[in-house]
Amino acid sequence: MTRVWEVSVTDSTLVPDAARAAAEAARSLGLDGARTDAAVLTASELATNMCKYAGGGRFVAEEAREPWGSARALQMLALDHGPGIRDVPAALRDGFSTAGSLGTGLGACARAADFFELQSSPGRGTVAVARFARPAERALFEAPAVAGGLHIPLGGYPRSGDALAFRSGAGRRTVMLADGLGHGEPAAEASDLAARFVLDNGGTAPEVLLRRLHEELRRTRGIAVALAEVDESRHRLTFCGVGNIGARLYRGGRWETLLSQPGIVGAFSLRTPVTARREWWPGDMLVLHSDGLPSRWRPEGIERLRDHDAAVVAAAAFRDSGSAARTPRDDTCVAVVTHTVRSGQGGEA
Ligand SMILES: [Mn+2]
Q: How far is the CA of 151 from the centre of ligand 1 (A)?
A: 12
Domain extent at residue 49: 4-141
Residues 124 and 165 in one domain: no
Torsion angle (degrees, nearest 10) of CA 157, 159, 162, 167: 150
Q: How far is the CA of 244 from the centre of ligand 1 (A)?
A: 8
347 pLDDT higher than 60: no
Residues 227 and 332 in one domain: yes
Q: How far is the CA of 241 from the centre of ligand 1 (A)?
A: 14
Q: How far is the CA of 147 from the centre of ligand 1 (A)?
A: 21
106 or 214, greater pLDDT: 214
Q: Looking at residue 60, what is its pLDDT? A: 97
Question: pLDDT category, 100, cuts 50, 70, 90?
Answer: very low
Q: Looking at residue 93, what is its pLDDT? A: 82
Residues 156 and 137 in one domain: no
Question: pLDDT category, 344, cuts 50, 70, 90?
Answer: low
101 pLDDT higher than 60: no
Q: How far is the CA of 344 from the centre of ligand 1 (A)?
A: 35
43 pLDDT higher than 70: yes
209 pLDDT higher than 80: yes
Q: What is the DSSP letter of 344?
A: G
Q: How far is the CA of 183 from the centre of ligand 1 (A)?
A: 7
Q: Looking at residue 206, what is its pLDDT? A: 97
pLDDT over 90, % of the chain: 80
CB 72 within 8 A of CB 148: no
The span from the CA of 329 to the CA of 154, in Å, is: 7
Q: How far is the CA of 27 from the centre of ligand 1 (A)?
A: 29
Residues 116 and 166 in one domain: no
Mean pLDDT across the stretch 116-137?
A: 96
Question: pLDDT category, 295, cuts 50, 70, 90?
Answer: confident
CATH of the domain at 13: 3.30.565.10
Quote the Cα angle for 224-189-238, to 5°. 35
CATH of the domain at 249: 3.60.40.10
Q: How far is the CA of 104 from the centre of ligand 1 (A)?
A: 38
Q: How far is the CA of 179 from the centre of ligand 1 (A)?
A: 5
Q: How far is the CA of 159 from the centre of ligand 1 (A)?
A: 13
Write down which residue in 126, 141, 156 finishes a domain.
141
Q: Looking at residue 104, what is its pLDDT? A: 58
Q: How far is the CA of 85 from the centre of ligand 1 (A)?
A: 32
Q: What residues have CB less than 8 Å from 297, skipping those under 6 apart?
A: 246, 289, 317, 320, 321
Residue 125 pairs with which residues in a beta bridge?
A: 121
Q: Say what the pTM is.
A: 0.94
Q: How far is the CA of 330 from the centre of ligand 1 (A)?
A: 5
Write down which residue in 123, 141, 159 finishes a domain.
141
212 pLDDT higher than 70: yes
The span from the CA of 4 to the CA of 21, in Å, is: 9
Q: Looking at residue 99, what is its pLDDT? A: 45
The span from the CA of 43 to the CA of 47, in Å, is: 6
Q: How far is CA 12 from the centre of its chain?
A: 26
Residues 136 and 187 in one domain: no
Q: Looking at residue 348, what is its pLDDT? A: 39
Residues 85 and 129 in one domain: yes
Overall number of domains in the chain: 2
User: Tens digits of per-residue pLDDT, 155-167?
Assistant: 888 999 999 999 9
Q: How far is the CA of 90 from the centre of ligand 1 (A)?
A: 39
Write down which residue in 125, 141, 157 finishes a domain.
141
Mean pLDDT across the stretch 86-115?
A: 76
Q: Looking at residue 289, what is its pLDDT? A: 98
Residues 50 and 163 in one domain: no
Mean pLDDT score across all residues of the chain: 92
148 pLDDT higher than 90: yes
Q: How far is the CA of 332 from the centre of ligand 1 (A)?
A: 7
Residues 151 and 280 in one domain: yes
Q: Looking at residue 96, what is its pLDDT? A: 63
The region of weakest confidence among 215-229, 245-259, 334-348 is 334-348
Q: How far is the CA of 278 from the centre of ligand 1 (A)?
A: 26
197 pLDDT higher than 90: yes
Q: How far is the CA of 290 from the centre of ligand 1 (A)?
A: 6
Residues 134 and 272 in one domain: no
Q: How far is the CA of 91 from the centre of ligand 1 (A)?
A: 36
Residues 168 and 302 in one domain: yes
Q: How far is the CA of 291 from the centre of ligand 1 (A)?
A: 5
Q: How far is the CA of 154 from the centre of ligand 1 (A)?
A: 9
Q: How far is the CA of 163 from the centre of ligand 1 (A)?
A: 11
Q: How far is the CA of 148 from the centre of ligand 1 (A)?
A: 19
